[in-house]
């Protein structure tokens, strides 16, 4: 809300500077977001007079005013038409600095001579937006006829405006008077209320308006005042200036007066053309089926039954608190006006304004809940203002319906409660003085204080509210720094697992850069994780239909692939969708982070050709019927094709065992030793055939890794081999043996033997390793693969594997003979079980 400083001064008598007032109000909870100093940037803007208006030779929508600045005449090109020859206007010659009305954020811009459709413009007639006075950009600002020609605009218009960022709990502060009350309490001055005393009406006239409130819950009070001999025209300059400074566009006397009083007192008012209201009756009720109303904006609206309306004897004439009707609009021909000042139900107004997208200065005030006491005060003030500007003569109150009057309830507060909550003492006299300054009624009973809030402070309902009033007005500077004492907790439900930190540390230690990605994604992005020929993705089913997935499960996946699709890469599930997405690019919560990570890899590939190792460890969202979704932290890592090797000139190419090394390290550091995880071939459309594996332990899928299918990579604009790793960390935790246990090793020297064998190419390394381990018991300590060979030197269809074996006994040094015996058992087992031949 914008409050002209001079208006605030008028109501408070405060002498302090605008900066001081802004700081103290901010500290007391009325945050001043900005102080607009009209004229601050207007160093070269002057008052000019329109001397002539010529048509633009090349454009019908433009005109060519010539401006007299008192010392010269300058022709400009202009797109607005709301001025005439002889009008005084704000003129900015080339070189002046103005706000750019088209920029999203406020930007100052220097005005340069420009050629517009063939005519040179050497300046500009300014709108209030370009001058930074208001957001209104419709038409240029026409000044009073007596504005001093050629003088700087600041002299004609000056003044500071405080812009408040107000909180939702203080409807009373949405007014100059409300801010003035706070300021006066802070500075110890007295508010000069602009509200006149009541005065009697002329006999009999109050019977001419009949009011009917159908439901007091929806309209607590409805007050009305008749104004006769109405003169609709332009308001005087002082009023237009104040309205403009406060950000409200002046329209005409009656409307301006209602807006002025709304700004001043916080009560929205509406003016009906009484001549068009049928039956001398005004009622408040919800709409009946089929009722319609043409509103002020010209729209013919069908009213839903929950809409609160103002009706006359025949039907709706306005949407209560939201917008008036066109038929009862005040026009230049209007002679009698009925001023409405009412208290509507905040929730009803909020719903209607939201539903119709018609939020206004008025509806915003109603939504926050206004006090019924205010209606009659605002009417008096409005009638007084109308009379003062010569726009009519009225009654302060013609009719008033207030079915169920209520006063704010007193709150009782024990004095010691203040110190108990704040941690610092306040004297009783200070408490009393502070609350009195805010116009709270006080009644003391021993150690208890009974506080009655003024009618405009219905937000104060509990002792803590009163404590806040005292603390904020005295100032939070009073509060000292202490630290909480007492017991700490024994149990923290939902405590963050420190092993999550370790997962990140292990990944970073292995060369991966941690990414934090958006949880919002699109179904289309997730659908790209499957080659397009396998999945038809019509717009209505961006992740594909159930039949396509069922077919894919049958033909394009093995058991491991199906298990992967069940949870860790659940692309055939319904994702959680947003009802109000920002865009179709982020309309769902992710089922997997893989799509986003492939995009991240691609983005980084533009500036880096190697060592693209990235991981993300944030929740994914798996819907559960009627419950919150499961939010498991799945780890997603992606790896680009090339990685640095151990010299500058060497780059390694990532192969499957590279990724496996990462998996083994991560799992074993998470409590699942390499020996307890089994790696099996994975067939899944996201991964390249024959270059992916699934990791299980005790029958549960823990991880999947492999090369990303080339078509899928291409869908993410990646034309190189790309690798991915997905880990179900919650499953890993469950499979984990927990903290590692110490096991002793042999203190005696080991006997080392190398073993090179040739086996059929179908025999897996795991089978060979398993045979070695079984046959080597109990002396075999380890068997490390150090070579694999396929090629010319051995027969086709065969592969050679070479291992370094280490034997030791727990209680003695092995003799050569004992080691040989153990080793020969291993060799024989391999020959016998796997048909292996010794090589070399």
Partner 1 sequence: MQERLDALLSAARAELSVATDDAALEQWRVTHLGRRSEVTGLLRSVGSLPREERRAAGQAANAARRELEAAFETRQSELRRSADGAQVDVTMPGYPVRLGSLHPLTRTLREIRRVLAPLGFRAVSGPEVEWDRYNFELLNIPADHPARDMWDTFHVDDKARPGELLLRTHTSPVQARVMEQIQPPVRVIVPGKVYRYEDRSAKNEAEFMQVEGLAIDEHITMADLRGTLTHFVRMMFGPDRELRIRASYFPFTEPSAEADMSCHACGGKGCSVCGGTGWIEILGSGMVHPKVLADVGYDPDVYQGFAFGMGVERIAMLKYGVTDIRSFYRNDLRFLRQLR
Confirm or reject binding of residue 539 to partner 1 (CB under 8 A): no
Confirm or reject binding of residue 471 to partner 1 (CB under 8 A): yes
Question: Under a CB-based contact definition with an 8 Å cutoff, are residues 824 and 751 in contact?
Answer: no
From 390-398, 489-497, 557-565, 781-789, span contacting partner 1 (CB under 8 A): 489-497
From 249-257, 308-316, 367-375, 398-406, span contacting partner 1 (CB under 8 A): 367-375
Cα angle 212, 216, 220; round to 5: 95
Q: What is the DSSP letter of 313?
A: S
Minimal distance, residue 706 CB to partner 1, in Å: 21
The site map against partner 1 for 94-133 (x = CB under 8 A) is ----------------------------------------
Which residue is listed with tokens 């994702």?
575
Confirm or reject binding of residue 607 to partner 1 (CB under 8 A): yes
Question: Which 787-816 residues touch partner 1, going by CB under 8 A?
Answer: none
Taking the C-alpha atoms of residue 239 and residue 230, their distance in angstroms, rounded to an integer, is 18
Question: Which 634-663 residues touch partner 1, going by CB under 8 A?
Answer: 643-648
Minimal distance, residue 728 CB to partner 1, in Å: 18
- Smaller CB separation from partner 1, 414 or 752: 414
Beta bridge partners of 20: none
Confirm or reject binding of residue 357 to partner 1 (CB under 8 A): no
Taking the C-alpha atoms of residue 720 and residue 639, their distance in angstroms, rounded to an integer, is 11
Confirm or reject binding of residue 425 to partner 1 (CB under 8 A): no
Chain mean position to CA 235: 41
Q: In this structure, what are the phi and psi dihedrals at residue 216, rounded to the nearest 5 degrees?
A: -65, -20
Confirm or reject binding of residue 488 to partner 1 (CB under 8 A): yes
From 197-205, 327-335, 506-514, 763-771, span contacting partner 1 (CB under 8 A): 506-514
What is the rounded (10 degree) CA torsion for 344, 349, 352, 354?
Answer: 170
From 371-379, 575-583, 786-794, 827-835, span contacting partner 1 (CB under 8 A): 575-583
Question: Using the rule CB under 8 A, which residue among 513, 674, 752, 838 binds partner 1?
Answer: 513
Question: Using the rule CB under 8 A, which residue among 233, 423, 690, 795 binds partner 1?
Answer: 423
From 141-149, 542-550, 605-613, 682-690, span contacting partner 1 (CB under 8 A): 605-613
Minimal distance, residue 472 CB to partner 1, in Å: 4
Confirm or reject binding of residue 744 to partner 1 (CB under 8 A): no
- Smaller CB separation from partner 1, 489 or 796: 489
Question: Using the rule CB under 8 A, which residue among 86, 486, 539, 749 binds partner 1?
Answer: 486
From 200-208, 271-279, 435-443, 470-478, span contacting partner 1 (CB under 8 A): 470-478
Question: Which 617-636 residues touch partner 1, going by CB under 8 A?
Answer: 618-619, 621, 625-626, 628-629, 631
Question: Under a CB-based contact definition with an 8 Å cutoff, are residues 149 and 48 in contact?
Answer: yes
Minimal distance, residue 518 CB to partner 1, in Å: 5
From 275-283, 602-610, 722-730, 795-803, span contacting partner 1 (CB under 8 A): 602-610
Question: Using the rule CB under 8 A, which residue among 102, 487, 743, 749 binds partner 1?
Answer: 487
Question: Under a CB-based contact definition with an 8 Å cutoff, are residues 363 and 321 in contact?
Answer: yes
Confirm or reject binding of residue 664 to partner 1 (CB under 8 A): no
Given CA atoms 624, 629, 632, 634 in this order, what sign does their dihedral have?
A: positive
Residue 557 CB partners (closer than 8 Å, separation 6+): 564, 565, 683, 684, 685
* 16, 257, 271, 406, 411 from 224: Cα distances, Å: 39, 15, 10, 20, 33
Minimal distance, residue 364 CB to partner 1, in Å: 8
Question: Under a CB-based contact definition with an 8 Å cutoff, are residues 545 and 527 in contact?
Answer: no
Minimal distance, residue 259 CB to partner 1, in Å: 21
Question: Using the rule CB under 8 A, which residue among 70, 214, 447, 476 binds partner 1?
Answer: 476
Taking the C-alpha atoms of residue 838 and residue 824, their distance in angstroms, rounded to an integer, is 11
From 110-118, 500-508, 538-546, 776-784, span contacting partner 1 (CB under 8 A): 500-508
- Smaller CB separation from partner 1, 508 or 550: 508
Minimal distance, residue 632 CB to partner 1, in Å: 12
Question: Using the rule CB under 8 A, which residue among 468, 502, 664, 734 binds partner 1?
Answer: 468
- Smaller CB separation from partner 1, 25 or 692: 25
Taking the C-alpha atoms of residue 216 and residue 212, their distance in angstroms, rounded to an integer, is 10
Confirm or reject binding of residue 531 to partner 1 (CB under 8 A): no
Confirm or reject binding of residue 542 to partner 1 (CB under 8 A): no
Number of neighbouring beta carbons within 10 Å of residue 479: 12
Number of residues that bind partner 1 (CB under 8 A): 96
Confirm or reject binding of residue 482 to partner 1 (CB under 8 A): yes
Question: Which 152-191 residues touch partner 1, going by CB under 8 A?
Answer: 167-170
Taking the C-alpha atoms of residue 418 and residue 468, their distance in angstroms, rounded to an integer, is 9
- Smaller CB separation from partner 1, 354 or 812: 354
Question: Using the rule CB under 8 A, which residue among 350, 525, 528, 684 binds partner 1?
Answer: 350
- Smaller CB separation from partner 1, 429 or 580: 580
Which residue is listed with tokens 């404590």?
467
Minimal distance, residue 549 CB to partner 1, in Å: 21
Confirm or reject binding of residue 576 to partner 1 (CB under 8 A): yes
Question: Under a CB-based contact definition with an 8 Å cutoff, are residues 309 and 287 in contact?
Answer: yes
Confirm or reject binding of residue 773 to partner 1 (CB under 8 A): no
Question: Which 13-72 residues touch partner 1, going by CB under 8 A?
Answer: 26-29, 31
Minimal distance, residue 642 CB to partner 1, in Å: 12
Report the Cα–Cα distance between both ends of the chain, in Å, rounded: 90
From 2-10, 113-121, 512-520, 677-685, span contacting partner 1 (CB under 8 A): 512-520
What is the rounded (10 degree) CA torsion for 35, 37, 43, 45?
Answer: 120
Given CA atoms 793, 797, 803, 805 in this order, what sign does their dihedral have?
A: negative
The string of DSSP letters for 613-652 reads EEEEEEE--EEETTEEEE--EEEEEEE-SEEE-SSTT-EE
Residue 227 CB burial class (10 angstroms; 0-12, 13-18, ≥19): buried
Number of neighbouring beta carbons within 10 Å of residue 840: 9
Of the candidates 148, 178, 184, the residue with the CA atom closest to the CA atom of residue 164? 178
Question: Under a CB-based contact definition with an 8 Å cutoff, are residues 702 and 682 in contact?
Answer: no
Residue 13 CB burial class (10 angstroms; 0-12, 13-18, ≥19): middle
Confirm or reject binding of residue 743 to partner 1 (CB under 8 A): no
Question: Under a CB-based contact definition with an 8 Å cutoff, are residues 798 and 804 in contact?
Answer: no
Confirm or reject binding of residue 322 to partner 1 (CB under 8 A): no
Cα angle 247, 250, 253; round to 5: 140
Minimal distance, residue 650 CB to partner 1, in Å: 9
- Which helix (H) or strand (E) element contains residue 20? helix 18-27
Query: Tokens for 806?
Result: 């280490």
- Which helix (H) or strand (E) element contains residue 66? strand 63-68
Taking the C-alpha atoms of residue 440 and residue 433, their distance in angstroms, rounded to an integer, is 10
Minimal distance, residue 32 CB to partner 1, in Å: 11
Taking the C-alpha atoms of residue 46 and residue 149, their distance in angstroms, rounded to an integer, is 8
Minimal distance, residue 480 CB to partner 1, in Å: 5
Taking the C-alpha atoms of residue 394 and residue 532, their distance in angstroms, rounded to an integer, is 75
Question: Using the rule CB under 8 A, which residue among 115, 540, 582, 744 binds partner 1?
Answer: 582
Question: Using the rule CB under 8 A, which residue among 446, 485, 699, 796 binds partner 1?
Answer: 485
Given its phi and psi angles, is residue 102 left (phi above 0), alpha (psi -120 to 50 degrees) or beta? alpha
Confirm or reject binding of residue 424 to partner 1 (CB under 8 A): yes
- Smaller CB separation from partner 1, 629 or 681: 629
Beta bridge partners of 118: none
Question: Using the rule CB under 8 A, which residue among 33, 390, 511, 690 binds partner 1?
Answer: 511
């Amino acid at each position: 809300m914008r409050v002209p400083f001079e208006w605030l001064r008028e109501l408070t008598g405060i002498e302090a500077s605008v900066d001081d007032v802004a700081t103290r109000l901010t500290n007391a909870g009325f945050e001043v977001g900005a102080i607009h100093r009209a004229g601050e940037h207007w160093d070269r803007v002057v008052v000019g007079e329109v001397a002539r208006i010529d048509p633009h030779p090349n454009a019908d929508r433009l005109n060519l005013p010539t401006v007299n600045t008192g010392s010269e005449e300058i022709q400009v090109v202009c797109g607005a038409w709301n001025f005439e020859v002889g009008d005084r206007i704000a003129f900015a010659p080339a070189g002046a600095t103005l706000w750019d009305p088209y920029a999203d954020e406020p930007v100052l811009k220097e005005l340069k001579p420009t050629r517009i459709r063939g005519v040179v413009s050497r300046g500009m007639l300014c709108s209030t937006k370009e001058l930074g006075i208001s957001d209104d950009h419709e038409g240029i600002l026409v000044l009073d006829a007596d504005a001093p020609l050629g003088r700087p605009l600041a002299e004609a218009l000056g003044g500071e405006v405080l812009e408040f960022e107000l909180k939702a709990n203080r409807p009373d502060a949405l007014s100059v008077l409300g801010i003035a009350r706070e300021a006066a309490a802070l500075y110890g001055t007295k508010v000069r209320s602009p509200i006149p005393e009541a005065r009697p009406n002329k006999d009999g006239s109050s019977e001419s308006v009949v009011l009917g409130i159908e439901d007091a819950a929806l309209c607590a009070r409805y007050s009305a005042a008749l104004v006769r001999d109405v003169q609709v025209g332009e308001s005087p300059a002082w009023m237009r200036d104040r309205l403009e400074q406060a950000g409200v566009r002046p329209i005409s006397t009656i409307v301006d007066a209602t807006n002025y009083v709304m700004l001043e007192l916080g009560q929205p008012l509406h003016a009906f053309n009484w001549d068009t209201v049928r039956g001398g009756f005004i009622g408040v009720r919800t709409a009946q089926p089929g009722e319609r109303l043409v509103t002020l904006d010209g729209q013919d609206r069908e009213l839903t039954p929950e809409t609160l309306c103002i009706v006359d004897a025949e039907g709706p004439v306005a949407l209560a608190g939201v917008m008036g009707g066109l038929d009862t609009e005040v026009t230049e021909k209007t002679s009698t006006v009925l001023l409405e000042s009412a208290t509507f139900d905040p929730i009803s107004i909020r719903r209607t304004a939201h539903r119709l997208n018609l939020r206004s200065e008025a509806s915003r005030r109603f939504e926050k809940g206004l006090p019924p006491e205010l209606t009659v005060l605002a009417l008096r003030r409005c009638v007084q203002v109308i009379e003062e500007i010569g726009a009519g003569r009225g009654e302060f109150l013609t009719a008033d319906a207030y079915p169920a009057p209520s006063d704010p309830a007193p709150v009782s507060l024990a004095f010691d409660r203040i110190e108990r909550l704040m941690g610092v003492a306040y004297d009783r006299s200070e408490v009393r003085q502070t609350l009195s300054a805010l116009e709270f009624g006080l009644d003391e009973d021993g150690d208890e204080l009974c506080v009655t809030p003024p009618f405009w402070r219905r937000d104060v309902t509990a002792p803590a509210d009163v404590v806040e009033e005292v603390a904020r007005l005295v100032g939070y500077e009073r509060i000292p720094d202490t630290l909480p004492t007492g017991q700490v907790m024994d149990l923290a439900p939902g405590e963050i697992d420190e092993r999550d930190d370790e997962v990140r540390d292990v990944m970073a230690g292995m060369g991966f850069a941690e990414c934090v990605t958006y949880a919002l994604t699109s179904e289309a992005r997730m659908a790209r994780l499957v080659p397009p020929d396998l999945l038809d993705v019509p717009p209505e089913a961006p992740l594909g239909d159930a039949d396509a997935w069922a077919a894919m499960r049958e033909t394009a996946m093995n058991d491991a692939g199906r298990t992967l699709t069940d949870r860790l890469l659940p692309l055939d599930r319904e994702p959680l969708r947003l009802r109000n997405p920002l865009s179709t690019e982020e309309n769902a919560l992710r089922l997997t982070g893989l799509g986003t990570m492939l995009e991240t890899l691609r983005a980084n590939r533009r500036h880096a050709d190697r060592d693209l190792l990235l991981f993300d460890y944030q929740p994914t969202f798996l819907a559960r019927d009627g419950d919150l979704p499961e939010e498991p932290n799945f780890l997603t890592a992606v790896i680009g094709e090339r990685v640095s090797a151990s010299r500058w000139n060497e780059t390694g190419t990532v192969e499957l065992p590279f990724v496996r090394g990462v998996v083994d390290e991560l799992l074993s550091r998470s409590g699942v030793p390499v020996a307890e995880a089994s790696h099996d071939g994975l067939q899944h459309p996201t991964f390249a055939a024959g270059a992916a594996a699934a990791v299980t332990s005790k029958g549960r899928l823990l991880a999947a890794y492999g090369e990303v299918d080339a078509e899928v990579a291409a869908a993410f604009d990646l034309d190189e081999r790309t690798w991915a790793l997905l880990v179900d960390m919650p499953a890993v935790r469950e499979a984990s043996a927990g903290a590692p246990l110490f096991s002793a090793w042999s203190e005696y020297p080991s006997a080392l033997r190398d073993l090179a064998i040739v086996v059929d190419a179908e025999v897996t390394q795991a089978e060979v390793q398993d045979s070695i381990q079984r046959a080597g018991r109990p002396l075999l300590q380890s068997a490390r693969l150090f070579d694999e060979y396929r090629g010319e030197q051995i027969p086709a269809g065969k592969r050679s594997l070479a291992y370094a074996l280490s034997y030791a006994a727990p209680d003695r040094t092995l003799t050569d003979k004992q080691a040989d015996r153990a080793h020969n058992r291993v060799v024989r087992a391999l020959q016998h079980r796997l048909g292996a031949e010794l090589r070399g």
